[in-house]
């Protein structure tokens, strides 16, 4: 991060952070040639996380050169790094801190200094050969669980000018919550033993009876939305989401679906469709012509008069004022004032219209029973039937432009158009299961889902491949915030128990973000003000007491604001063999403020009858 020398603070056995202090050049550092005195200006060499300066060397022009600053790996060695790995006992004397740096060409010597505060004082603990690139500070000289700051430099210490905002932190947890059984959790303070709780040791500590961090059995599957069946879900951003249920309730989440709160609505019909244009403006449509709307993110919902008694299946809004609704009996409704008034339009069909998709105030498509597709290019003043070439019910339709749309339906049918619907072409979905929903974030990021948890995806808008949803429940809907981040929602049949799945990698893995079973760790890092953050990696070393059951999903959640909001990262389930997993979380922890607000959760969904054992939990930040 743009430094000319190296400074690491560290906890012995796995915690390091970086700070740097500035030194002034001494008069004797001015080099003088035989005939001319030359004052040398030393400039910082750019861009790496940590770097070192090359010492003085003779050359034809009597100039001092500096090695280019470059990223330097910072490593901590814990008991898991011993040989043999994962011993049955681990004591203070076995903990070490290993620091490493980029080789300095031409260096005549490397000096390592250490302090217990960022500003020092620093004391020399090692002098090494100029070729050295690593040093291990052993437990013989470094006290367990003490934060240290290290300086590593080449040449004479007083030659080393440096920025004062560099840091590299390797953080052990300092406290948290154990809610492995989903009953609300018990606080623990760590980092050693915590008598009376399920979590015994945050990190190994000599002289205790507990070597590793051990949990009780993970509890049963978490209940989503009070056991109700979600028909629709949408998110305004990765934190703010809403779900509408078959049982007539609207639920809101402020943490990306990890937990939900029921909202109050003027009525409670079966909800079929919804739309949130932003974090404030949303609509819901349902049975008996019901429409409700909010302008404050769901704090209050207001009934709107639709003028219809049909089941209203879907709504799509292109602005806070311009919206369309589709429904049974070929119903199409339009509003130009956000729903204050709704007007019926002539859809030219009496078939059920299951879904509607609009890309502008002029261009919309709707699909439904018996292969029906209708479209408008004038805001609904006229709707025109299009030839789909299918007789299957087309439950979903998604358009990304005035020319490109996809529709999905019964028997695995997927249709596509590249000319606004003048022609529709069948594509091979790879399944014969009914597809009840489809959403395309772009022409190269589409998902369709349906019966028995089937999900297929396309990254080119032409070919489709199966993805593993992790459920056998039906998929009713999707909401995608990016080409990587999507939600899928559904239930075990109409009105049955609901489920929610999320992907953060385009569907390579889908996980359940409902976080009622977790271990939560808090951190108390010392952060250099205004220090840039270019890397943040979570390291977990753990195993399971028994193989996780079918349907179990595991992920970590990371907060950059002390738990106000969370971002999820899927990880493989544990096995019965102790193993290390690392996850980059720099998308969330990317500033000094974010580092200060760091909290971490380890979440297991649908876990049953096994314990997790942690040898090491820490976060490395450069």
How far apart (Å, rounded) are the C-alpha atoms in residues 160 and 94? 33
Q: What pLDDT, on a 0 to 100 scale, did the predictor assign at position 126?
A: 86
Q: What is the distance between the terminal CA atoms of the chain, rounded to a whole angstrom?
A: 7
Distances in Å between the Cα of 172 and the Cα atoms of 169, 367, 405, 621 are 10, 54, 50, 12
Of residues 32 and 368, the one with the higher pLDDT is 368
Q: How confident is the model at residue 272 (pLDDT cuts 50, 70, 90)?
A: very high
Q: Which of 187, 192, 186 is nearest to 172 (CA)?
A: 192
Token digits of residue 347 = 């859809």
Query: pLDDT per residue over 217-231, tens digit each?
Result: 676 555 678 889 999
Residue found under tokens 């999507």: 486
pLDDT above 60 for 159 = no
How far apart (Å, rounded) are the C-alpha atoms in residues 282 and 301? 9
Asked if 150 and 187 count as a contact pair (C-beta separation under 8 A), the reply is no
- Average pLDDT across the chain, whole number: 75
pTM attached to this predicted model: 0.63
Distances in Å between the Cα of 586 and the Cα atoms of 529, 538, 621 are 18, 10, 9
Tell me where in the chain the CATH 2.60.120 domain(s) lie.
176-221+516-621
How far apart (Å, rounded) are the C-alpha atoms in residues 2 and 190? 35
Count the neighbouring beta carbons within 10 Å of the beta carbon of residue 360: 14
Angle made by CA atoms 470, 199, 554, in degrees to the nearest 5? 15
Tell me where in the chain the CATH 2.60.40.10 domain(s) lie.
1-171
DSSP 3-state of 589: coil
How far apart (Å, rounded) are the C-alpha atoms in residues 589 and 557? 12
Of residues 613 and 165, the one with the higher pLDDT is 613
Work out the average pLDDT over 4-28.
Answer: 28
- CATH fold of the domain at 176-221+516-621: Jelly Rolls (2.60.120)
Least confident of 93-107, 367-381, 561-575: 93-107
Q: What pLDDT, on a 0 to 100 scale, did the predictor assign at position 521?
A: 81
Q: In what order do the strands lie in the sheet with 6-11?
A: 15-16, 6-11, 147-154, 110-115, 123-128
Q: How confident is the model at residue 58 (pLDDT cuts 50, 70, 90)?
A: very low
Phi, psi of 492 (to 5 degrees): -85, 75
Class of domain 1-171: mainly beta
């Amino acid at each position: 991060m743009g430094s000319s020398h190296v400074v690491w603070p560290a906890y012995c056995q796995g915690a390091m952070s970086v700070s740097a202090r500035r030194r002034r050049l001494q008069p004797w550092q001015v080099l003088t040639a035989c005939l001319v005195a030359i004052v040398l200006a030393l400039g910082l060499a750019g861009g790496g996380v940590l770097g070192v300066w090359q010492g003085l060397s003779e050359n034809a022009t009597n100039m001092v050169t500096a090695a280019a600053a470059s990223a330097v790996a910072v490593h901590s060695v814990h008991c898991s790094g011993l040989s043999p790995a994962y011993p049955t006992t681990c004591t203070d004397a076995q903990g070490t801190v290993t620091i490493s740096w980029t080789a300095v060409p031409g260096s005549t010597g490397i000096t390592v200094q250490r302090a217990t505060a960022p500003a020092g004082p620093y004391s020399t603990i090692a002098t090494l050969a100029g070729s050295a690139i690593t040093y291990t500070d052993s437990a013989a000289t470094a006290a367990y669980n003490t934060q240290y700051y290290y300086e590593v430099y080449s040449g004479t210490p007083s030659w080393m000018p440096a920025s004062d905002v560099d840091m590299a932190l390797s953080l052990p947890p300092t406290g948290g919550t154990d809610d492995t059984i989903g009953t609300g959790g018990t606080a623990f303070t760590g980092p050693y033993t915590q008598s009376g709780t399920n979590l015994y040791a945050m990190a190994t500590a000599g002289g205790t009876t507990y070597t590793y961090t051990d949990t009780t059995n993970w509890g049963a599957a978490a209940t989503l939305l009070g056991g109700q069946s979600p028909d629709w879900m949408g998110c305004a951003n990765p934190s703010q989401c809403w779900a509408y249920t078959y049982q007539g309730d609207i639920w809101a989440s402020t943490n990306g679906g990890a937990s939900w709160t029921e909202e109050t609505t003027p009525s409670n019909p079966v909800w079929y469709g919804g739309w949130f244009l932003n974090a404030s403006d949303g609509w819901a449509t349902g049975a008996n012509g019901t429409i409700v709307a909010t302008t404050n993110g769901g704090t209050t919902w207001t009934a709107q008069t639709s003028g219809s008694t049909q089941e209203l299946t879907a709504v799509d809004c292109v602005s806070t004022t311009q919206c369309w609704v589709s429904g049974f009996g070929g119903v199409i409704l339009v509003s130009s004032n956000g729903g204050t008034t709704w007007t019926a339009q002539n859809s030219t069909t009496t078939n059920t219209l299951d879904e509607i998709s609009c890309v502008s105030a002029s261009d919309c498509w709707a699909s439904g029973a018996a292969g029906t597709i209708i479209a408008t290019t004038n805001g609904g003043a006229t709707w025109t039937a299009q030839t789909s070439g299918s007789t299957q019910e087309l439950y979903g339709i998604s358009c990304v432009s005035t020319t490109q749309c996809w529709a999905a339906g019964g028997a695995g049918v997927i249709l596509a158009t590249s000319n606004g619907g003048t022609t529709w072409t069948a594509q091979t979905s790879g399944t014969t299961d009914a597809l009840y929903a489809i959403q395309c974030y772009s022409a190269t990021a589409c998902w369709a889902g349906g019966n028995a948890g089937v999900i297929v995806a396309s990254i080119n808008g032409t070919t489709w491949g199966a993805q593993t949803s992790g459920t056998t429940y039906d998929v009713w809907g999707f909401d995608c915030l990016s080409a990587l981040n999507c939600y899928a929602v559904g239930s075990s049949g109409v009105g049955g128990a609901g489920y929610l799945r999320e992907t953060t990698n385009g569907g390579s893995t889908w996980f359940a973000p409902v976080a009622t079973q977790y271990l939560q760790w808090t951190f108390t890092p010392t952060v250099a003000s205004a220090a840039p953050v270019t890397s943040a990696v979570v390291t977990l070393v753990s195993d399971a007491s028994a193989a996780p059951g079918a349907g179990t999903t595991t992920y970590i959640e990371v907060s950059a604001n002390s738990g106000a909001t969370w971002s999820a990262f899927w990880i493989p389930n544990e096995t019965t063999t102790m193993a290390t997993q690392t996850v980059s979380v720099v998308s969330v922890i990317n500033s000094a403020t974010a580092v200060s607000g760091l909290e971490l959760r380890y979440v297991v969904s649908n876990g049953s009858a096994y314990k997790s054992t942690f040898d090491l939990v820490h976060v490395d930040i450069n």
